[in-house]
Structure 1
Amino acid sequence: MKLTYKFLPLIALAFVAISCATEDGVEAKKAELEQLKTQSNEITNQIKALEAELMTLDPEFAKQNHKSILITTANAKKGRFEHYVEVTGSVLSKKNVIISSETSGRILEVPVSEGQRIAKGAVLARIDAESIERNIDELENSLSLATTLFEKQERLWNQQIGTEVQYLEAKNRKEGLERNLASARTNLDKAEVRAPFSGTIETIDVRLGELVQPGMSMFQFVGDSDLFIEADISESYVGVLKKGDSVNVSFPSVDEDLHTRVSSVGAIINPNNRTFKVEVFLPNLPMVKPNMISVLKIQDYEHNDAVTVPSYLILSDNRGDYIFVVEAGVAKKKYVERGKTYDKHTEILEGLEGNEVLVDKGFREVGDNFNVNIVQQ
């Protein structure tokens, strides 16, 4: 036991020596690795610089040195191309009227509410007409007496008794009272304000018990028929859009689509937003209501033999717009003149024939004369 304790310090010293030797070896290897990495980076940079220099001096070397880039392709198309102006419009009604009072009096009843749909002839409000009713009673009594007197005077006149003046005065009094009674009854009818056509009550401007006068606004009323769409078009389309042009209309809220035409083009530019008004004819549709939002697509250009490409494939540099096409496994840069763009496709006016194979996926990684490898989708 004493012998074991005697050798313990020697064993510990040996472990310390071995540990130090191991740590020195690891650090040495790390330093050597870093040195090799530095040398490798320097060699790689030298290789790249030399390749770039050779590619500039020798085009054949550049072509052979390019690695093939994986791409997919798309085809240029030749056929009919249409361009549309897309704007937001609002459904309006030509029967959007203000209903006013035609007689004076106090409001006795308003049996309708805002937003309510009303049939033609329905009562919107009742006005106190007590004075008119009393006047009608007096006129009816006076007319009854005048009629009796006229009939007696007429019999006398037929018997050649009395003068012609007496007969004419009796007749005139009777006919005058008849006209006054008819007018009073018309005023009595006006005490009931009725809907002039079927529609919806937008606003109510009177309240129960309020005194109204002739011409005073009572209701804003919008009819269900004679609807049209109104939209604001940029002044840049002046002369392009005209009456009768084709229009595709969609109503996002009810998922309804229809084909119609421009019915009116405004002649004045709004100085606030530099637009002019366009009206579009709208047939009667049960689902379409006044003030509903619509999207108008008005065709302003068409070409039956146009060359088109996906818009995102067109790139630009200092020289102009270009697109990559595939020829014999090599990407070629083709400069083009673009026309109008619609629905993510652009018309190419010059530079393509319409039968080219275009670089699709990978078009940003390729360059002029790059080798490409087409991946089948």
Structure 2
Amino acid sequence: MGCALLFPACHKSDPAGAGRTSGDSAASEPGSRGGERRGGGGGARGGGQVQPVEVVALQRRDLVETLSLVGSLAPNESAQIRAEIAGQVRAIYFNEGERLEQGQMLLKIDDAELRAQLDQAEARFRLAELNLQRAENLRQTQTNTLADYDRAQSEFASGKAELALLRVRLDKTEVKAPFAGMVGARDISPGDYITAATAITTLNDLSRLKIDFQVPERYLSKVQAGTKLKVLTRSEASESPAEGEVYFVNSVINRSTRSSEVKGWLNHPPPDLKAGMFANIELVLETRRGALTVPEASILVSQEGPQIITVQVENGEKVAAFVPVNLGLRTRGLVEISARGGELNEQQLVVAAGVGSLAIYPGARLEPRPQRAEFQVAN
């Protein structure tokens, strides 16, 4: 008669690795010899020595399938501040590292020449306005030609447009913050001549942070806007990760990496999270409530598929029964299971590991013992 060889399991919780999900199948776990015959249910009873075995009870737990990745932090908004017109810097109104409000003035460019041009344009406009009024009066008395009237209208419109243009250029001599944020180092000083190509400083909105990372294509079906994530910097000693959620999933997959770009928000980042840092990400792919679970070491793999060995009482003796199961989520040393063609009950005892090398077959007499502490899985 075929038997299952069980060896003491030195199981540890899955380490979180980049691109590896904690919900992968447990089919590759050791625990049985490939191709050994498994009997469903009881099989032959009695005979043989009583085998001491370590057991655990089936339990229902909430399982969370996560994916561990690495990403990069970025500001909510970031802008390099430049002037829109050329000129000499007359005054600077910000300090490096200062927080600015939207619309707050950063610097002033000398505007003396523009103001003189504006005064000149205003004088021309007033003259054009008077000429248009005279042309309208003469037009009513039919003492001027239509061409004279049209010319006066054109000069008035041109003068009005020139005034508007100069006022816009004058406004641009005041460089203001486009949004609220932290200003960086300044690269200019009063008296410098700057152009539109001159970088004045940078402005970063750090009210929340973005996190940019790549998700392999096999997991993209479980990632969407609103998917929860946790972030911990790679150099951080704290065990309290910042929480956020996905807001963007690129619809195009990179052909070379077979992954897609995903972005998330951290709405209330702690002070030790800085834009530009690399960070470890734990992406929550799925949450399963009240899943029936066993330790990974309890799963046996045979030609008939995964099985567990339960402890049943028959004729006053505790015997082994092989139960075929379907596997679900796997996380932190636990596997979600469901019976194939039968029922499994919470608190039912399952063989977790053997004491020494054991030969267990359907109907083998068992001596259940609590699983050793070093092999137990934390709830």
Q: Which residues of 2 match residues 1-377 of structure 1 at below 5 A? A: 63=49, 71=54, 73-77=55-59, 81-89=63-71, 92=74, 95-113=77-95, 115-151=97-133, 154-155=136-137, 161-201=143-183, 206=188, 208-214=190-196, 217-223=199-205, 229-238=211-220, 240-241=221-222, 243-244=224-225, 247-252=227-232, 262-270=246-254, 273-280=257-264, 282=265, 285=268, 291=275, 295-300=281-286, 302=288, 307-314=292-299, 325-328=310-313, 332=320, 334=322, 338-348=327-337, 353-355=344-346, 356-359=348-351, 363=354, 365=356, 367=358, 368=360, 369=364, 371-372=366-367, 374=369
Query: Cα gap change, 1:74/1:207 in structure 2, threshold over 3 Å: closer, same or farther?
Result: farther
Task: Tell me, in whole angstroms, the C-alpha distance in 2 between the residues paired with 1:106 and 1:335.
Answer: 84
Where 1:83 maps in the other structure, the secondary structure is: strand
| Structure 2 residues not aligned, in runs of 5+ | 1-44, 233-237, 374-379
SS at match of 2:163: helix
1:63 corresponds to which letter in structure 2? Q
- Does the aligned pair in 1 maintain the 2:139–2:146 contact within 8 Å? yes
Q: Residues 276 and 165 (structure 1 numbering): CA distance in 2 closer, same or farther, change over 3 Å?
A: same
Are 2:108 and 2:175, in contact at CA under 8 Å, matched by a contact in 1?
Answer: yes
Structure 1, unpaired ranges of 5+: 1-58
Question: TM-score, with normalisation over the residues of structure 1?
Answer: 0.61
Q: More strand by proportion, 1 or 2?
A: 2
Report the CA distance shift for 1:259/1:176 in structure 2 as closer, same or farther (over 3 A): closer
Cα 1:331/1:137, change in 2 over 3 Å: farther
Compared with structure 1, are the counterparts of its residues 166 and 111 closer, same or farther at alpha carbon in structure 2 (3 Å cutoff)? same
**Does the CA contact (< 8 Å) of 2:244 and 2:267 recur in 1?**
no
Question: 1 or 2, which has the higher helix percentage?
Answer: 1
Q: Counterparts of 1:364 and 1:109 in 2: how far apart (Å)?
A: 82
Query: Matches of 1:257 and 1:272 in 2, distance apart?
Result: 31
Letter in 2 for 1:241: K
* Partners of 1:273 and 1:125 in 2: CA distance: 45
Partners of 2:202 and 2:287 in 1: CA distance: 41
Partners of 1:206 and 1:83 in 2: how far apart? 51
2-structure distance, mates of 1:106, 1:254: 51
Shift of 1:188: 0.8
In 1, Cα distance between the equivalents of 2:112 and 2:321? 91
Residue-by-residue CA offset, 1:269-312 (whole Å, 9 max, x unaligned): 345654211234x496586988385744332475x785421235
Q: TM-score, normalised by structure 2?
A: 0.61
> How many Å apart are 1:185 and its aligned residue?
1.2
Equivalenced residue count is 309
Shift of the alpha carbon at 1:121? 0.6
SS in 1 for 2:344: coil
CA distance in 1: counterparts of 2:213 and 2:300, whole angstroms: 35
Q: CA RMSD in A?
A: 4.6
Larger Rg: 1
The CA deviation at 1:182 is 1.6
CA deviations on 1:320-360 (whole Å, 9 max, x unpaired) are 87655444576748586644312431123567834431345
User: Using CA pairs below 8 Å that are at least 6 residues apart, which structure has the higher relative contact order?
Assistant: 2
Q: 1:121 & 1:254 partners in 2: Cα distance?
A: 39
Query: How big is the shift at 1:161?
Result: 4.7
* Separation in 1, partners of 2:159, 2:86: 23
Cα distance change on mapping 1:209 and 1:272 into 2, 3 Å: farther
Report the Cα offset of residue 113 of structure 1.
4.8
Conservation of the 8 A alpha-carbon contact between 2:187 and 2:201: yes
Counterpart Cα distance in 2 of 1:165 and 1:310: 97
Task: Assess, with a 3 A threshold, how the Cα gap between structure 1 residues 254 and 113 changes in structure 2: closer, same or farther.
Answer: farther
Q: SS at the partner of 2:49?
A: helix
Q: Give 1:212 deviation, angstroms.
A: 3.1
AA in 2 matched with 1:309: V
CA contact (8 A) 2:311 2:319 kept: yes
